Structure 1
Amino acid sequence: MKKYRIFGFISAVCICLSILYSVVGVSQTSQSQVLLSTNPPLEQIRPLQAGGETEKSPVTFTFQAVDAAGKSLKNALINLEILTPPRNFWLTTDFPMVEGTTLLEMQVAAPDGKLEIQQMLPIRGNYQLNVNVSPLVANAFTPYQETLNLKVKENSIKYKYLAVIAAILFSVGLLGGWVIGGQEELKEGEIAPQSVRLLLSSLTIVAIITLIFINITAEVAEAHGGHNHKPENIAPSVQKNQDLEIEVLGDKNATVGKLANLAVEVKDSNTGEPIKDAVLKVKAIALEDNLTVFAYQGFPNEKGQLIWKEQFFDGAPHKVEIEATPLQNSPRQFSPVKVAQLVEVEGISPPISTRLISLFYFTAIVGIGMAIGLLIQQRRQPQPKVN
């Protein structure tokens, strides 16, 4: 009888554990989430190549908020934050002052639960995308947060350039070690053999060229700061007609590595009441290369405003351009209105430690080549015979 009781007890425990496991599994899988799609696909995304001749275009991000059943959430408020890859002291990127900063912050209404933006990604590494979804109508659904990660690989051309530079420096070091290892005899009045003196002169020239290269690279990383590119034709920051008034608000000066506050306000030109039934097409354009770094199409909030924070990672003038158009089925119809604002961006030079690390790597490559050259010469020389 005892055996049956023990067997029954064990069976009951197993059934309870199975039910508990099923409940936990359902609670983990059936929940609201944010689906992310990109164009180009994730594996093809590459960072901006500073000074490159290839075509540059921002990445299109589409965030879709769905419920536990996979259906799109209606009337959602989406808060998006994009964080750049963290700093890497030993392996910096083209824009070291951008590492470990916030690239974009925005909160927008999504009637169909979808947020679509275009954003240029400046550097390689792991980006973190924080998405908060909450209802526009109270208690329509439970707010939730999701963190998405995006890994961006480096442009392959960078590795080719690095391989060529490393090969040249290694060859110089190898030749130097070979010459010094030859043990050329000193002539009268000479401090060092002629071949060694020629080698030291060559190394000095290489060091100067390397320093020039590092400083030029640093200036490129500073993002061409100091250029005063004033556009000849730019729309005014305020436009007003008989139907509406639209104005660009926010910072007119920005700094690389920091967020700039930007906004646009749309209101009735007669009553001053906020206008919500309009479509706003936003673009941020780097004027030096006429490059679109950010784009978004959405709607004003209850106050007739669209607000966002954006980092300009290129230290050159940018133009923030907004075009307002009427909703297709709205009773308020008007001609498209365009406004713009010039934003001067201050570039920041990378710290001296970054330049010294680059110089250390180049010097180390030359040193390794020289050590190998010396070792080869020593092995080639005949060893004295021991009687």
Structure 2
Amino acid sequence: MTILISISGEGYSQTPTRSVQLNTDPPLQSLIPFEAATEKPQSPVSLTFQALDAQRQPFKNAKIGLEILTPPSTPWWTTDFPIVEGTKLLAMEATAPQGRLEIQQMLPIRGNYQLRVNVSPLLAGAFTPYEQTLTLPVRENPVKYHYLGGLVIVLLGVGLLGGVVIGGQQIVQEGEIAPQRVRLLLSGLIVVAIAALLAINISAELLDAHGHSHEHEHTHATQSPVQQSQGLELHLVGDDLATVGQPANFAVSLKDTTTGQPVKDILFQVKAIALEDNLTVFAYQGIPDSSGKLAWQEQFFDGAPHKVEVTATPQPGSNRQFSPLQVAREIEVEGIAPPLFVRLISLAYFTAIVGIGLAIGLGLKNRWFQRLVRG
């Protein structure tokens, strides 16, 4: 009886089920997050989702809903964009005749992203809808560890030097709570800590002011969100003002100006571009839904102006052929400075590293002094 139960259990666990297959370009082991203020060329990650049935065959005529959630908050080891942690990066529903969804998305921070995929049929009853949550691990950029190592060495050196300076035998004068050199060093450390905290806060405020200044630099749109041509009207609607940490809403549609009916046998090519560096942060090419519309939610993680651009072209073999139509909206993105507690935690780490160096310096100086006395 035990053998039969175990065999049936193995058979049940190995029963093939419906799934979503994820492929990335570059490969998973090569994924690193977005790096701000760099001159190196950067490209978004290509994500391909394939809906498969129990026999590992692609589903036909499906709708694929996708939500990308950023890694959860890490208050003790924060990322470059703390406000982005634990938020929704993208949400969309795509019509997938071959059961495939392909997007390009810039990943802003390190950690494990949650990809929630919902697969349902275009024709009711064709198959039972199902959901799957995938995990996309993104490792930290190795360059950050090099920078961190250099900073730690400098701070340890400062502490070590201070420990050597104040170490050894010290004479405490009457009415003093510590030797003069100790008091001078501690006073200097306090001044450095205050200066570092001020520098962190001032840089955050300047960054915030830099983000707001773009409201005046980009007051004119390079393209209109509506274009009429060849008896067609392409219309892009959505938010003109976005905030880091919150998704913005967009939708695009193409209609016949004579009949007022939506045109469906078309391809939409969507791009979101960071204007400062002319960097594509999101891209998708697909067809509209049954109502002739393509809608999505997108978060702009960098507090700088962006442009959402959509190009409409006829599908290959379509009866209605026309020249490509293009619309665009410029989006002002409001940046949010990191919370104060995040800055204080960083300052505490730096102070602790200096303290460790100070303790090592004091220990070494006391050993030297004791050896000198014994000698």
Distance 1:272 1:142 in 2: 34
Q: What are the Cα deviations for residues 111-134 of structure 1, in whole angstroms up to 9, with x where unaligned?
A: 000000000000000100000000
Distance 1:220 1:122 in 2: 21
Query: Secondary structure in 2 aligned to 1:159?
Result: helix
1:1-387 matched pairs, under 5 angstroms:
13=1, 16-17=4-5, 20-21=8-9, 23-27=11-15, 30-183=16-169, 195-196=181-182, 199-200=185-186, 202-204=188-190, 206-212=192-198, 214-215=200-201, 218=204, 225-228=211-214, 229-230=217-218, 234-382=222-370
Distance 1:157 1:374 in 2: 33
Distance 2:239 2:372 in 1: 78
TM-score for both structures, normalised by structure 2: 0.91
Change (3 A) 1:384 1:238: closer
Deviation at 1:165, TM superposition (A): 1.1
Mean CA deviation greater in 211-220 or 157-166: 211-220
Deviation at 1:207, TM superposition (A): 2.6
Mean CA deviation greater in 137-146 or 189-198: 189-198
Deviation at 1:26, TM superposition (A): 4.5
Residues 274 and 302, structure 1, Cα contact 8 Å, conserved in 2: no
Change (3 A) 1:384 1:158: closer
Q: What are the Cα deviations for residues 21-44 of structure 1, in whole angstroms up to 9, with x where unaligned?
A: 3541343xx111111000000000
Q: What are the Cα deviations for residues 73-111 of structure 1, in whole angstroms up to 9, with x where unaligned?
A: 100000000000000111110000000001000001000
Distance 1:221 1:302 in 2: 43
Residues 61 and 121, structure 2, Cα contact 8 Å, conserved in 1: yes
Mean CA deviation greater in 224-233 or 92-101: 224-233
Deviation at 1:202, TM superposition (A): 4.7
Query: Secondary structure in 1 aligned to 2:317?
Result: coil
Residues 50 and 220, structure 1, Cα contact 8 Å, conserved in 2: no
TM-score for both structures, normalised by structure 1: 0.89
Aligned residues: 372
Change (3 A) 1:86 1:15: closer
Distance 1:205 1:54 in 2: 37
Distance 2:184 2:328 in 1: 60
Distance 1:374 1:312 in 2: 49
Distance 2:207 2:121 in 1: 41
Distance 2:187 2:8 in 1: 77
What RMSD, in angstroms, separates the aligned Cα atoms of the two structures?
2.7
Q: What are the Cα deviations for residues 34-86 of structure 1, in whole angstroms up to 9, with x where unaligned?
A: 11000000000100011122221100000011111111110000000000000
Distance 2:64 2:204 in 1: 37
Distance 1:117 1:227 in 2: 31
Aligned AA (1:94) = D
Residues 232 and 255, structure 2, Cα contact 8 Å, conserved in 1: yes
Residues 207 and 337, structure 2, Cα contact 8 Å, conserved in 1: yes
Residues 130 and 148, structure 1, Cα contact 8 Å, conserved in 2: yes
Bigger radius of gyration: 1
Aligned AA (1:252) = D
Distance 2:207 2:51 in 1: 37
Deviation at 1:242, TM superposition (A): 2.6
Residues 114 and 135, structure 2, Cα contact 8 Å, conserved in 1: yes
Distance 1:193 1:19 in 2: 78
Deviation at 1:285, TM superposition (A): 0.6
Residues 59 and 121, structure 1, Cα contact 8 Å, conserved in 2: yes
Query: Secondary structure in 2 aligned to 1:51?
Result: coil
Residues 77 and 108, structure 1, Cα contact 8 Å, conserved in 2: yes
Gaps of 5+ in 1: 1-12
Mean CA deviation greater in 207-216 or 138-147: 207-216
Aligned AA (1:215) = N
Deviation at 1:184, TM superposition (A): 5.2
Gaps of 5+ in 2: none
Residues 169 and 369, structure 2, Cα contact 8 Å, conserved in 1: no
Aligned AA (1:247) = H
Deviation at 1:216, TM superposition (A): 6.3
Deviation at 1:243, TM superposition (A): 2.8
